[in-house]
Structure 1
Amino acid sequence: MNQERIFKVLLGPHISEKATLQADLAGQYVFRVATTATKLEVKKAVEKLFEVKVKAVQTVKVKGKTKRTARGIGKRSDWKKAYVCLEQGQEIDFADAE
């Protein structure tokens, strides 16, 4: 996997209350990923970017919400997130990430 694809697969961490609890309790981190990304691509990207060992990856397709606007009904884009479970003793510190 080349360097360019790594940055296209991982769009960034998904920060929420649930994601923070998952990171603290289960060692799982949540990332926003490209809708075309596979589990294997996500695993390789996280391992290469953060230099950690990934145990498992679970992906979820999130449907965009329908919103009412002044011009009628609009729809937010669909997106994909990945739950990345790390090996025992591994952790990601987003403050030190380059």
Structure 2
Amino acid sequence: MAADYDEVKPDVAESRNASIEALKEANSPDARSVVLELDETDTVDGVELPGADLSGEELIIQVIPQAPDEFTCYSCFLVRHNSQIARTKDGHNYCIDCEA
């Protein structure tokens, strides 16, 4: 008698059906309830809304000057290490990423 090797074994088929039934019976949240919960938490104090008046806020940033072994790419304007200079044209340096 020829054996059908593509046929699913009975114990595998039973466990597959059991896991599908377990997923169907699980108490998963409804998609609408999740959206409602997210909408309710969006208005919590401390969240900045678009168009909010931020004129009283002060932003403190420490600016680090460009090092002697760095250059600013004339194409992407990012500060890079001198080892990433791909070419120099008209006194302007271009990085490897912009030349790729």
User: Does TM, scored on the shorter chain, surpass 0.5?
Assistant: no
Bigger fraction of residues in helix: 2
- Give the TM-score of the pair, scaled to structure 2: 0.15
The structure whose RCO (Cα within 8 Å, separation 6+) is larger is 1
Q: Which TM-score applies when normalising by structure 1?
A: 0.15
